[in-house]
Amino acid sequence: MIAVLRYGHRGLRDKRTSSHLGLVARAFGADLLVMTVDDEKVRSTLEDVVKNWGGAFSVEVKRNWRKFLRDFKGVRVHLTMYGMPLDDVIGKIRSQVKGKDLLIFVGAEKVPPEVYELCEWNVAVGNQPHSEIAALAVFLDRLFQGEELSRRFEGARMEIVPQERGKKINTY
């Protein structure tokens, strides 16, 4: 099981970025988005996508994220521009995760210093400021070595048939 913990979510300001983050989590192979703040719009966006595009992705709210992070049984990875270069550590993380659960901690705002201590890994997807959405995608892409991009989702009502031009969708 792979969970993505979205730390912080400042209402209107983060509505779309948290939705993007959840959609990336699902599309790139995670099973669960944990929000620290409830947002009905984010939840319904993800629920609609799961209904139409399949898979078993879900969203939970854990206001007490500290307890959730502390008690998590498995490997905890914090994505931060200050951390160790992704390509230096991804091999070790991949072996550690085998047969274990993985929690990926992703901040929307400044992250309390204890997170750097509680997580086994602080990982930088490049040491430049960019986007936690991009960081999550590239991290999962490296973890799964690109295989997540051709994954099929069970129970999908809609599936795209790749085209050089235009759009083709199969519906079931």
Report CA-CA distances (Å) from 160 to 5, 141, 151, 172.
Answer: 29, 20, 12, 12
Residues 42-76 as b/e (b if ≥16 CB within 10 A, e otherwise) read bbebbeebbeebbbebebeeeeebeebbeebebbb
Q: Which of 35, 86, 102, 104 binds a second copy (CB under 8 A)?
A: 86
Least distance in angstroms from the C-beta of 134 to a second copy: 4
Q: Which of 31, 66, 68, 84 binds a second copy (CB under 8 A)?
A: 84
Q: Binding segment for a second copy among 15-23, 60-68, 69-77, 97-105 (CB under 8 A)?
A: 15-23
Tell whether residue 27 is a contact of a second copy (CB under 8 A). yes
Q: Could you tell me how many residues of this chain bind a second copy (CB under 8 A)?
A: 55
| Coil vs helix vs strand at 72 | coil
Q: Tell me, rounded to whole angstroms, the distance of Cα 64 from its chain centroid.
A: 19
Residues that bind a second copy (CB under 8 A): 12-14, 16-17, 20-21, 23-24, 26-28, 49, 53, 81-87, 113, 116-117, 122, 124-131, 133-134, 136-138, 141, 146, 148-151, 153, 159-160, 162-169
